[in-house]
Amino acid sequence: MYGPKPVHLSPLSLAEVRTVVGCTLRVLADSTRTVDIMVGEELTARSQLRYLRENGIFETEDGTALLRDKPSFVHVDLQELMRLPEHTLGGRLARFHRTNGLTASVYHQPTQFVTNPQDAYLMQRIRHCHDVWHVLTGLGVQGHEEILLHAFSLAQTGLPSSMVLGILGSLKHMILELRLKTLCLGMYEAYRMGARCEPLLAVYWERYFEQPLEDIRLRYGIGTLSHYS
């Protein structure tokens, strides 16, 4: 279960290829087009989701409970989390949302192209945990920071979309923005960290909102990448 996840490409129809290419071009022009990212992500993720579900990642106490209970961040009350101390996971997550002007609307986005119910839930869970991974790694929401998180996520999930966004996003947000240190060192460090820490997809984060963030980082072997912010 440890180590980088291999990437499995999903077979696509010609129409789906056109959709993915269109989404990719629009995201390159405007990296805030979240819905386009989600569509491309789903269409290319189907084989990878099946691999993740079938290869032991969820054979833990947390993972078994996660697939049984199917918790959703749709039901997380960010205002309630704001009452937690800032050093807790939940408190930091709520402040991450407030500081960056984020809303919970992304949590309500349905899956459209993944038909297997368990895989559809896993796709949603990956989306929902994206902001948790931001908090764990200490990365913000600037373009280059999102690309670093995709490098981390690629090692954790093997999603083809993270690989594509990592490559194309590096061109836009690192080479063209002259962030060469981030490109040469940050991408490697982010990917290596994602490969070395414990699998995070199977963590039942809702159980740990009240725990200190540093304790959680230590438990799962996560460092911070905030020095590339």
DSSP-based three-state secondary structure for 88: strand
Model pLDDT for residues 25-68, shown as the tens digit of each residue: 998 888 888 889 999 999 999 999 999 999 889 999 999 999 99
- Predicted local confidence at residue 58, as pLDDT: 93
Model pLDDT for residues 77-127, shown as the tens digit of each residue: 999 999 999 999 999 999 999 999 987 777 888 898 998 999 999 999 999
Q: Tell me the β-bridge partners of 88.
A: 212
Give the integer Cα–Cα distance in Å for 187 and 163: 12
pLDDT band at 218 (very low <50, low <70, confident <90, very high): very high
Give the integer Cα–Cα distance in Å for 37 and 13: 18
- Predicted local confidence at residue 110, as pLDDT: 85
CA-wise closest residue to 78 among 209, 211, 216: 209
Q: What is the largest CA-CA distance in the chain?
A: 50
Q: Residue 123 corresponds to which tokens in the numbers above?
A: 């796709």
